[in-house]
Amino acid sequence: MQTFLAIFLLIVGLAILWKSADILVAGAVGLAERFSVSPLIVGLTVVAFGTSAPEAAASIAAALRHTGDIAIGNVYGSNIANLALIGGICAIISPTAIHLAVLKREIPILLVATLILAPLVFGGLITRGEGVILLIAFAAFIIITIYAAAKEAKKEPRIIAQIQQDIHQEVKTQPKKTGMNVIFVIAGLIGLAVGADIAIRGAVSIGMKIGLSQAVIGMTIIALGTSLPELATSVAATIKGHDDISIGNLIGSNIFNTLMVVGAASTIRPLEISHRLAGTDYWIMAAVTAAFVAMAALGKKLSRLDGVILVTIYIAYIGYLFGFNAIVF
């Protein structure tokens, strides 16, 4: 495949991914409202999934193409980009307060999800059974989050009104009729599948031409491309002063990636993992997660200095990937 065509396919594939995620969320939110589903539940599930849908589609497409390193590398790279790059940028724009509920609930779940992944990747193969376990853990996370948030909403009803407003701001082109909502959901799902396949084809071709391993392709080209929805959502929330939405989006996305994306991809097809992803690269992701958590827990906010440190860590990480470690081994 010619380089120009590969770049064109990557750009087109990512564009289809992003737009399809928007369409899917719009249709799902519309259906939820039609059937009187709580906007709180929609905000915690459908909209949250929307920003992680490109990662899910890309990793599943990679698994189907027998490129397990791209599937797992995409999760590693997206998780690191979310916390170090996007979290850092948001903190530089405006010091970001960390809500007590996030410290008590979402952050511990993030740490547990990261640790759960360790014994699975260390074996060099994530089986279908292990994928199912991750999906069960993800379902438990959703149930716990919805239950806890519902209790908080009863104590403070304005939370529901705020989430409803945020959903409508997020989904500006929401269709009104049930039939159109269904069409949007179906079109979004089809678009995700098509966009992911096109993006993977382009990224693999580009990476191979410049001598990158599949792992590095997943952790850089694919991960950065699929993390753009989180970047847009979190930066917009930070500018508007919605710190909880900004941080919650990043932490929630990483939990989605680790449990749901890896679980779904490995359930569809067992994922073979290279030594580097089962070792050094996993520990880098875990270390970045721990650093982010430490900053959040110690100061109960991310300062501009924390933001600069996080972005610097990400730049160093990219330098590491494009150094001698980028070569296939």
pLDDT digits (tens, 9 = 90+) for 271-281: 888 888 888 89
Place 328 in a pLDDT band, splitting at 50, 70 and 90. Answer: very low
Separation of alpha carbons 100 and 121, rounded Å: 32
d(C-alpha 314, C-alpha 311), whole Å: 5
Rounded to two decimals, what is the model's pTM? 0.79
Give 25-94 as a DSSP string: HHHHHHHHHHTT--HHHHHHTHHHHHHHHHHHHHHHHHHHTT-HHHHHHHHHHHHHIIIIIIHHHHHHHS
Residue 22, pLDDT above cutoff 90: no
pLDDT of residue 236: 72
**Selection from 75, 191, 185, 81 nearest residue 131 by Cα:** 75
Q: Choose the most confident range, by mean pLDDT, from 40-44, 51-55, 170-174.
A: 51-55
User: Which residue segments constitute the domains of the chain, with CATH numbers given?
Assistant: 3-326 (1.20.1420.30)
What is the tens place of the pLDDT at every residue in 245-272? 677 778 888 998 999 999 999 999 998 8
Say if CB 45 and CB 142 are below 8 A apart.
Answer: yes
